[in-house]
Amino acid sequence: MKRTLAILGSTGSIGTQALEVISEHPDLFEVYALTANNQVDLLIEQARKFMPEVVVIANEKKYPELKEALEDLPIKVWAGADAIAQVVQSEPIHLVLTAMVGYSGLQPTIAAIQAKKAIALANKETLVVAGELIMSLAARYEVPILPVDSEHSAIFQCLNGEWDNPIQQLILTASGGPFRNHSRQALASVTRAEALNHPNWTMGAKVTIDSASLMNKGFEMIEAKWLFDVTPDQIKILVHPQSVIHSMVEFEDGAVMAQLGIPDMKLPISYAFSYPKRLKSQMPRLDFSQYATLTFEEPDMQRFRNLAYAYEAVRQGGNMPCILNAANEVVVEAFLQDKIGFLQMSDIIEQMMQKATFVASPAYEDYVQTDKEVRQLTREALL
């Protein structure tokens, strides 16, 4: 029986690779819904190829163009954030891939869980912003959350068959990004183009900047806390420039399990789609003869302050990780528009963590209000 999928963020890096996996296994998967934010041309192309039941464009200004381009096909065309949250609840859908960027993934993920759809989670900000809420909903509705990030997929794979054995610590590996060896002085003058030039991975602009600042690794630490029910003190981050070991688990007896592979997101995407089975793949194999040395080093939280702020936010709890995420989304956008420098992103995030309203026990409405408040405060700080 085919698994019917909804791909949220189908025009992004994860979404396009997910559709490649689906193309390679048409006997196993079919697409029910595709959604995108702005890239209407690519969404039209994908819709014509995969013939989903529904396509949704979040940017309502792009709706007329999308509607006209697909009017000769029996495809429903919707628009807006609420439509994305609605489509994931459709009865035929078995699994929802949440590959939207940032805070926008929260509402449809909640809607999908409440509709008892399995979640393939590629939107780490959902757990950063509202991890306690999401995991409690997943438990209540008995919905599996299958990690797609390479690091969390690696941990998930290492824990397969080990769920009853207590975890000593999780070891998240990080490439270190393009500025691993830069001094603080050098970081002050890095350009947008340099920050977008990741040494190992091909990702969207926002995730690439987060990787360069190590905020991405901070978000992954928070995500891992919720996915695997550990404390922040049980999560160690190691810089591993070769990006061959995707993450590790240390157990109480001292044994360490690691998952290795080439840096290719199609492997964790495929594993989430097919779990508990593994699918045959034509991807290149890991050639150990090409890696005479695998190296590891501690991250420098003095130079890369965002990682320290992520640990601080999750230890404070409440809505502080939501504050962290909202401020980060705004400053990354400003950096990509050449409005602020690389180090200024961390300066403003620190200010927002001190300035924004703290809520110790937030409900969903508090997260919505926090996100709105912090975005406004951050934009004012940019003036």
Q: Domain count of the chain?
A: 2
List the beta strands (DSSP E) in the chain.
3-8, 29-36, 54-57, 76-79, 95-98, 118-121, 145-147, 167-174, 235-239, 245-251, 256-260
Write down the pLDDT at residue 202. 66
How many whole angstroms separate alpha carbon 66 and alpha carbon 58?
A: 11
Last residue of a domain, one of 254, 286, 316: 316
Last residue of a domain, one of 125, 147, 169: 147
Residue 141 lies in a domain: yes
> In terms of domains, do 161 and 301 share one?
yes
pLDDT band at 29 (very low <50, low <70, confident <90, very high): very high
Does the pLDDT of residue 272 top 90, yes or no?
yes
Cα 358 to chain centroid distance, Å, stands at 24
Mean pLDDT of the residues in the chain: 95
What is the average per-residue pLDDT within 231-235? Answer: 97
> In terms of domains, do 128 and 166 share one?
no
> In terms of domains, do 139 and 212 share one?
no
Q: Return the number of other C-beta atoms located less than 10 Å from residue 3's C-beta.
A: 16
Residue 338 lies in a domain: no
Residue 197 lies in a domain: yes
> In terms of domains, do 47 and 71 share one?
yes
pLDDT tens digits along 276-333: 999 999 888 999 999 989 999 999 999 999 999 999 999 999 999 999 999 999 999 9
> In terms of domains, do 103 and 206 share one?
no
Read off the pTM: 0.93
For a pLDDT cut of 70, what percent of the chain falls above it? Answer: 99
Domain residues for 159?
152-316
> In terms of domains, do 104 and 252 share one?
no
pLDDT tens digits along 54-96: 999 999 999 999 999 999 999 999 999 999 999 999 999 999 9
Residue 91: give its domain's CATH number: 3.40.50.720
Does the pLDDT of residue 201 top 70, yes or no?
no
> In terms of domains, do 49 and 94 share one?
yes
Residue 334 lies in a domain: no
Residue 369 lies in a domain: no
pLDDT band at 158 (very low <50, low <70, confident <90, very high): very high
Give yes or no for a cis peptide into 108 (omega within 30° of 0): no
For a pLDDT cut of 90, what percent of the chain falls above it? Answer: 91
How many whole angstroms separate alpha carbon 219 and alpha carbon 227?
A: 12
Residue 370 lies in a domain: no
> In terms of domains, do 187 and 308 share one?
yes
> In terms of domains, do 108 and 195 share one?
no
Residue 117 lies in a domain: yes
Q: Which residues pair with 56 in a beta bridge?
A: 35, 78
Last residue of a domain, one of 316, 331, 352: 316
Does the pLDDT of residue 200 top 80, yes or no?
no
> In terms of domains, do 202 and 289 share one?
yes
> In terms of domains, do 139 and 208 share one?
no
What is the average per-residue pLDDT within 154-167? Answer: 96
> In terms of domains, do 159 and 80 share one?
no
Residue 265 lies in a domain: yes
Cα 15 to chain centroid distance, Å, stands at 12
Write down the pLDDT at residue 76. 98
